[in-house]
Copies of this chain bind each other. A is one copy, B any other.
Amino acid sequence: MKSWHEECGVFGIWNHPEASRITYLGLFALQHRGQESCGIVSLNNKLHIHHKALGLVADGFSESVLDRLKGPTSIGHVRYATTGDNLLTNAQPLTATLKEEPIAIAHNGNIVNTKSIRKNLQDRGAIFQGTTDTEVLLHLLARDSGSQFEDRLVNSLVQLQGAYSLVILNSEKLIAVRDPMGFRPLSLGQLQKEDGFSWVVASETCAFDLIGAKFVRDLEPGEIFIVSDGGTRQLWLPKSPKKAQCIFEHVYFSRPDSIVFGQGVYDSRKNLGRLLAQECPVKADLVVPVPDSGVAAALGYSEESGIPFDLGIIRNHYVGRTFIEPRSNIRSFGVKIKLNPMSSILKGKRIVVIDDSIVRGTTSKKIIGLVRGSGATEVHLRVAAPPTTGPCYYGVDTPSRSELIAANNTQEQIRQFVEADSIGYLSVEGLFKAVKATSQSYCAACFDGKYPTALET
């Protein structure tokens, strides 16, 4: 069970009679990528109309709001703050007027040289309204002297380092961009309509499934894909010698029913479980996942090991944004709000608990305590990823290194802390193998410490 928060999701559709409603649906499918705020911008007769709200998509948008978001082209964004505070000011798509031309930007990722660019811009008189890293791109665009929007965009983007999957809307074009290293996913699709099809772009393919669009292909790292009334065209940012696709999208972030970086996420997770069974076998009676994120890996572990699988821990899905805790000391209360182990399943058995990854270790400790308290005779923790030893700087909201249990403890120390009978992590090699990736095409810095870019201090 993950305590890392998710990043952001982006969506866009060009020239469809129900653009804002389709965008609403697309964001709904991407809701797992950000629950703090959401926003949609529509383009109607060269003017932008927007609506942003704190909270979930289904709460933030009403029929009347969507009716107001007229126009055949829309982009949208769901956000969990990775930089900046959670103010509506920082909600995206960011909107502005550049020389009376409206622009809106939806951004997934994190730009690592924000600080120095921001300072430079401020020294030249730029006024920042919010604290998001995305706002520097607006100012670079506003100040570039290129005559065409595409020129100004390329001139601005080459100054950015780090992760950015962007959906941009001006008065004439919908533009999708993936940074040269390709940190975050971004996919192209086509939605049938009466007279042909509409181009759609989304962070994950599960958005295409919901709206009934066909998944065409991923945007390439460094690709700028432009849709306008005149058709589509491609531009390219300078090629990066290395790709840095985020392996954590497969481990935890993306929805299991998405195809990310060319592979189904559910399949990746079952592979992670299978390889984990090979690398860290154990004699036991039952494989039990920490739901929902550990289910696929647990099925893989069960298949490979032959140990039966069962849902020994039940998850309550009604948990909202805020939850009022009792003042009295109820054992493992925080975990029990979501998870309830069933002693009828667990009692008297040797249990393999499968989790997707471990951050601080405190949740794992509580889960193991609950499972043992339900009568399990042995509890073996198996983690379907390597030890998490480094924070992410590319768009995942991780705690600092000092809080990562694996950055500061041996596996045996972790085992003792979580009070498991044994512990096993997948190897980095196993990780790459499971997603059929190489270290040349993926970033696994949170697991192997190899950060693909320089970092500002």
Contacts and interface: CB of A to CB of B under 8 A. Distances in A.
B25 A326 contact: yes
Interface string A333-360: 1001100101011000000000000000
Interface string A245-262: 000000000011101000
A417 interface: no
Given A212-B330, A310-B299, A125 B143 contact: yes
A139 interface: yes
A210 B337 contact: yes
A318 B212 CA distance: 19
B324 A266 contact: no
A125 B97 contact: no
A320 B60 CA distance: 11
Contacts of A128: 96-97
Size bracket of the A interface? 35 or more
A142 B129 contact: no
A342 B264 contact: yes
Interface in A60-108: 61-63, 66, 96-100
Nearest to A326: B21
Interface stretch (A28-36, A161-169, A397-405, A435-443): A28-36
Contacts of A454: none
A267 B21 CA distance: 42
A54 interface: no
Contacts of A22: 326
B340 A21 contact: no
Given A256-B314, A320-B58, A328-B193, A209 B336 contact: yes
Interface in A210-227: 210-212
A138 B142 contact: no
A61 B323 CA distance: 9
Given A21-B324, A299-B309, A342 B256 contact: yes
B342 A266 contact: yes
B96 A122 contact: no
Contacts of A157: none
A295 B311 contact: yes
Contacts of A326: 18, 21-22, 25, 211
User: Ordered nearest first, which 3 A-B pairs have the shortest CB separation?
Assistant: A125-B143, A58-B320, A264-B344
25 contacts: A18-B326, A22-B326, A56-B318, A58-B320, A58-B323, A66-B324, A96-B127, A96-B128, A97-B127, A97-B128, A122-B142, A125-B143, A126-B142, A127-B127, A127-B138, A210-B336, A210-B337, A211-B330, A212-B330, A212-B331, A255-B316, A256-B314, A264-B344, A296-B311, A303-B308
Given A58-B322, A96-B128, A257-B342, 5 more contacts: A98-B127, A257-B340, A264-B342, A267-B344, A299-B309
